[in-house]
Copies of this chain bind each other. A is one copy, B any other.
Amino acid sequence: MAYQKIITKGSQDKINPVLHQLKAIEFLKSSRNQKTKKASTKTKPSNRVGKNNPVPVRLALGQINAVVGDFKTNSRKIISAIKKARQGDADLIVFPELVVCGYPPEDLLLKENFLRANRDALESIVPNTQGITAIVGFTESDKTGIYNSAALIADGKLRGVYRKHLLPNYGVFDEKRYFREGRSLLRFVLNKAVFGITICEDIWESEGPGKSLCSEGQVDVLINISSSPFHIGKVRDRESMIRMRAKQYQCYLAYANLVGGQDELVFDGNSLIAAPDGSLIYHCQGFDEDVSLTDFWIGYPKSNGGKLEKPEGRATKTVKLGTRKESGKRADLFSADYTAESEIAEVQKALILGTRDYVLKNGFQKVLIGLSGGIDSALTAAIAVEALGPGNVIGVLMPSRYSSQGSIDDSLDLALNLGIETYTLPIEKAVKAYDTILKIPFKGTEPGIAEENLQARVRGNLLMALSNKNRWLVLTTGNKSEISVGYCTLYGDMAGGYAVIKDVPKTLVYELSRYYNNIKGSDVIPDNIMTKEPSAELRPDQKDSDSLPPYDVLDKILYHYVELDWDLTQLKTLGISKKTIERVIRLVDLNEYKRRQAPPGVKITPKAFGKDRRLPLTNGFR
């Protein structure tokens, strides 16, 4: 057992509501299985905070948007946030999991120079912590392996490292591919209060390391640094888990989450601080950077119901530091005024942030979208405009002999409402050229899928030609319902760099479009587009309903089959005809090969196609 006591400048005993200088740090590492009784006696600082001498903590949450592998940018952001926190007299600033290298770094972790760059970046951060304590997530590596770690840095020195115990290896996570499990706990004492460190998954299991760490009241403030991605319902699930843990472990819980888009994942931020009674002390805004200070007191007595009693005559304040946009919600001690956003608002924000970050972090500025006159391309264009501004979005109309005049007019109306530039490129000439070239091999056959797909592929080619010529990124417009059943053309409407709504079921596409028009206060997405019957317009009078069940029925089957992995016996309880169910699940299975070649897009459901759902292509299971 390592035990260090570090005394730095300043008095140890003086209690000051705006105390900001590092007074004392004591470290205690204890093995996870060690008898807690023994540990607890050693943890307590000599004159630890008690009921009669409450101490203040001014804690900053460093909710920043890190870029995977971009150590320079990430370090700069971290150092800048530390500086601001110190200027705001914070005792402590807490950053997200693996913030130094971004999350998830995937197989970059197998590169020796990537690991070295992690160490170098951390070393460049350490000297910038004079007069403050910082918890920074980074990739630690030594001859025993690689660890997902939190560095405890204070007053220009690395004081300790905590290694994540519980490594998620399900859903989109592959942490056991890279990291070894940590075995030790880490507590430290700052200004007479005891802090404990955990990383993400460590507190999702109620019996996990957080429990040992906090047992018998050993910890006043439990810190959890996370990179926890968004899906519908996650924000609330996560918040309630954190509040429950704070209550269970009887301590404050300061939770710092990453924000930003990384390929298919969107990290939603929503960092927060919960009190030992489970109430919310502070809640950062979602889907944007937010570095804020919060004051709270440790050692207040509790009222009978277990509620913390509001202190008399001690003002509390929250200070916003350098957030990217105007400030978000603020919460006062014991009176959090944070109100949850609606789930639909969260999904919209996730789509916008995911799209913006994919485009900008990959060095693009402008995007290109094929406008069909349908609701999918309309919503995609609207999200792109929110993400990048109308000047960076180009709409392309590519009418064919089967396109209705309505489709063209509706697309032009949409573009006008969004304020985006358009090209109109009729595809007839190219379609005819293919007909001529394929005359002999197609002789005597009836027009069918081959001819329909060719039209979609001509459009894909035109978008890619404009993309290649101008370095504009093509955004595809397919929704989750059609991608599930393969109602889309590989190398056609699936051709592009980012698939904005690929994880959004068609019924939710409608909801999002209505929500969008609603917050805009006008029919930016024209009413015609909202109300027309969906059609791919690849043959005369084609309607989606010719090939697919109604979208509400389809989405119901897909939700249970794709996201919940229900089997046929279970699906039959949905009250939908067996024939329809069997056809849909057969289509989902058969079209895995198309999804494998699809561009990435924002994950918004608990189970998106991609890393979440890894099915074999060659699959004899029915």
A residues touching B (Cβ–Cβ < 8 Å)?
Answer: 67-71, 73, 102, 104-108, 110-114, 117, 169-170, 174, 176-177, 261-263, 357-358, 361-362, 423, 425-427, 429-430, 432-434, 436-438, 440-442, 445, 448-451, 453-454, 457-458, 460-462, 464-466, 468-469, 490-491, 495, 497, 565, 567-569, 593, 596-600, 613-622
Give A622 to B113 CA distance when docked, in angstroms.
10
Contact A445 B469 (CB under 8 A): yes
Partner of A102, one of B67, B598, B620: B620
A171 nearest CB neighbor, chain B only: B177
What's the least CB distance linking A424 to chain B, in Å?
9
Q: Which of A176, A261, A426 has the largest count of B CB atoms less than 10 A from its CB?
A: A176
What's the least CB distance linking A595 to chain B, in Å?
11
Contact A618 B68 (CB under 8 A): yes
Contact B427 A437 (CB under 8 A): yes
What's the least CB distance linking A123 to chain B, in Å?
17
Contact B469 A465 (CB under 8 A): no
Q: Which of A427, A466, A491 has the largest count of B CB atoms less than 10 A from its CB?
A: A491
Q: Could you jot down 9 A-B contacts, CB within 8 Å?
A: A68-B616, A68-B621, A174-B177, A438-B466, A448-B469, A449-B469, A450-B466, A454-B461, A457-B464
Give A466 to B613 CA distance when docked, in angstroms.
31
Partner of A497, one of B70, B73, B112, B593: B593
Partner of A176, one of B176, B361, B453: B176
Give A569 to B112 CA distance when docked, in angstroms.
11
Give A84 to B170 CA distance when docked, in angstroms.
41
Contact A263 B465 (CB under 8 A): no
Contact B68 A619 (CB under 8 A): yes
Give A525 to B598 CA distance when docked, in angstroms.
34
Residues on B with C-beta less than 8 A from A170 are 177
Partner of A67, one of B423, B441, B618: B618
Residues on B with C-beta less than 8 A from A174 are 169, 174, 177, 614
Contact A434 B462 (CB under 8 A): yes
Q: Given the known inter-chain contacts A107-B613, A169-B169, A436-B429, please indicate yes or no for A69 contacting B457, CB distance below 8 A.
A: no
Contact A464 B468 (CB under 8 A): no
Q: Which 3 A-B pairs have the closest CB atoms?
A: A70-B620, A69-B621, A113-B567
What's the least CB distance linking A115 to chain B, in Å?
10
Give A252 to B613 CA distance when docked, in angstroms.
41
Give A106 to B433 CA distance when docked, in angstroms.
43
Contact A461 B457 (CB under 8 A): yes
Residues on B with C-beta less than 8 A from A600 are 596, 617
What's the least CB distance linking A394 to chain B, in Å?
10
A103 nearest CB neighbor, chain B only: B616
A105 nearest CB neighbor, chain B only: B616
Q: Which of A358, A426, A427, A469 has the largest count of B CB atoms less than 10 A from its CB?
A: A469
Contact A73 B438 (CB under 8 A): no
Residues on B with C-beta less than 8 A from A464 are 453, 457, 490-491
A432 nearest CB neighbor, chain B only: B433
Contact B68 A620 (CB under 8 A): yes
Residues on B with C-beta less than 8 A from A112 are 565, 567
Give A565 to B108 CA distance when docked, in angstroms.
9
Residues on B with C-beta less than 8 A from A461 are 434, 454, 457-458, 461, 491
Contact B430 A615 (CB under 8 A): no
Q: Which of A440, A448, A450 has the largest count of B CB atoms less than 10 A from its CB?
A: A450
Residues on B with C-beta less than 8 A from A105 are 616
Give A117 to B464 CA distance when docked, in angstroms.
45
A429-B437, A451-B465, A597-B597 given; name 10 further pairs at CB < 8 Å: A68-B618, A69-B622, A104-B616, A111-B621, A174-B174, A261-B618, A362-B618, A453-B465, A460-B491, A461-B461
Contact B437 A462 (CB under 8 A): yes
Give A449 to B469 CA distance when docked, in angstroms.
7
Q: Given the known inter-chain contacts A450-B465, A565-B110, A567-B113, please indicate yes or no for A425 contacting B437, CB distance below 8 A.
A: yes
Residues on B with C-beta less than 8 A from A437 are 425-427, 429-430, 462
Give A444 to B229 CA distance when docked, in angstroms.
45
Q: Which of A67, A176, A358, A619 has the largest count of B CB atoms less than 10 A from its CB?
A: A619
Q: Given the known inter-chain contacts A114-B621, A567-B111, A616-B262, please indicate yes or no for A450 contacting B469, CB distance below 8 A.
A: yes
Give A542 to B106 CA distance when docked, in angstroms.
37
What's the least CB distance linking A461 to chain B, in Å?
5
Q: Given the known inter-chain contacts A457-B464, A460-B491, please indicate yes or no for A621 contacting B565, CB distance below 8 A.
A: no
Residues on B with C-beta less than 8 A from A71 are 620-621
Residues on B with C-beta less than 8 A from A70 are 620-621
Partner of A69, one of B442, B468, B616: B616
Contact A108 B615 (CB under 8 A): yes
What's the least CB distance linking A92 to chain B, in Å?
28
Residues on B with C-beta less than 8 A from A617 are 263, 358, 362, 600
A427 nearest CB neighbor, chain B only: B437
Give A449 to B567 CA distance when docked, in angstroms.
48
Contact B616 A434 (CB under 8 A): no
Residues on B with C-beta less than 8 A from A117 are 621
Partner of A597, one of B102, B357, B426, B598: B598
Residues on B with C-beta less than 8 A from A425 are 437-438, 441
Q: Which of A170, A457, A466, A622 has the largest count of B CB atoms less than 10 A from its CB?
A: A457
